[in-house]
A and B are shown apart, each in its own frame.
Chain A
Amino acid sequence: NAGVTQTPKFQVLKTGQSMTLQCAQDMNHNSMYWYRQDPGMGLRLIYYSASEGTTDKGEVPNGYNVSRLNKREFSLRLESAAPSQTSVYFCASSDLWGNEKLFFGSGTQLSVL
């Protein structure tokens, strides 16, 4: 059982380039999330999708777009990367809400030069 799979694991971009981070889960979860982790800042929510067909902004959505392609897949797109988007990105999924824990992917280390 793979759980939550993120690709790529590492990426280096130049300022202004675009890229899409891919995320897929095989647990039939309804909800999916994108977080970024910066030193000293913890994990901050970028966007989430409560269920297939819906997406909502989190705490730090500026500069990002998302697509909930189907129930399994939730992608994060950087249209014009900036050095401030250098971070570790985590995708997560959960079933329902409340006391259900989030299952996390292994993260993507992104550097924008």
Chain B
Amino acid sequence: AQTVTQSQPEMSVQEAETVTLSCTYDTSENNYYLFWYKQPPSRQMILVIRQEAYKQQNATENRFSVNFQKAAKSFSLKISDSQLGDTAMYFCALRSGYALNFGKGTSLLVTP
């Protein structure tokens, strides 16, 4: 069975600061993919960043980057220069095969 754990239910950061959201996972597969999704109050699910497990290089997308530690099964998301529009739920997810398994989410509040 695959599991995804997000240990921070809520976090807060000031505008322009940097914040890191934690995620750990467990899988017996060697070939898998990791994702961070953002869900703003509009409820829409938006892909933030993805990482292939076979790639050692950490993925980056503008202000968003990950720290992928395969041996430790850790996949944290760093948001730099936080903006008010980053306020949302963030879900870590693991995919091996067809389905995507999600963590319980971290609610991030960006304050002025």
Contacts and interface: CB of A to CB of B under 8 A. Distances in A.
Interface of A: 31, 33, 35, 40-45, 48, 50, 56, 58, 88, 90, 92, 97-99, 101-102, 104, 106-107
Interface of B: 4, 6, 9, 31, 33, 35, 43-45, 47, 50, 52, 91, 95, 97-105
Contact of A97 (B6, B91, B95, B102): B95
B112 to A, nearest CB: 26
A40 B9 contact: yes
Contact of B91 (A43, A101, A106, A107): A43
B98 A50 contact: yes
A43 B43 contact: no
A70 to B, nearest CB: 18
B102 A43 contact: yes
B104 A97 contact: no
A98 B45 contact: no
